[in-house]
A = this chain, B = another copy of it.
Amino acid sequence: MTRDSLIRALEAAESHCAGRGEKLTPVRRRVLELVLEADAPVKAYDLLEALKPGPGAAKPPTVYRALDFLMAAGLVHKVEALNAFVGCSHAHDDGGAELFICSDCGSVEERHGAPDPVNMPDGFVIERSVVEHFGHCANCRH
């Protein structure tokens, strides 16, 4: 992610929150920045480390609270199978993203609009779906 597109993404996030009547506070903004800067899913405790040198040494609850907020706002997704977090450039409120994660380089691509499952149990109503595909991206194929 280039410096310019990072700045644009942060501005977009700012107005996205404003539109929801919520505030992208300095801590939240800094965490989002760190997640967007990374070129792979980021661990919560890596964020913690990265925040240490800052104005206040962050403790775990600070980071997790920021991540919770950003996830609720649709600005960050959790990769459940990795216990790690990725930035989202789409800012969609529904958590229904489909992630393609390269096991070699860590790059993550996000897609949307997957059709409903074909073999759903009778009468089941889906509220939230976790879909994570692991494999090799075009750059890393042997």
Contacts and interface: CB of A to CB of B under 8 A. Distances in A.
Q: How large is the interface on A (under 10, 10 to 19, 20 to 34, 35 or more residues)?
A: 35 or more
A54 interface: no
Contacts of A109: 121, 124
A81 B130 contact: yes
Contacts of A113: 118-119
Interface in A96-136: 98, 100, 102-103, 109, 111-115, 117-136
B120 A126 contact: no
A81 to B, nearest CB: 4
A141 interface: yes
Nearest to A128: B134
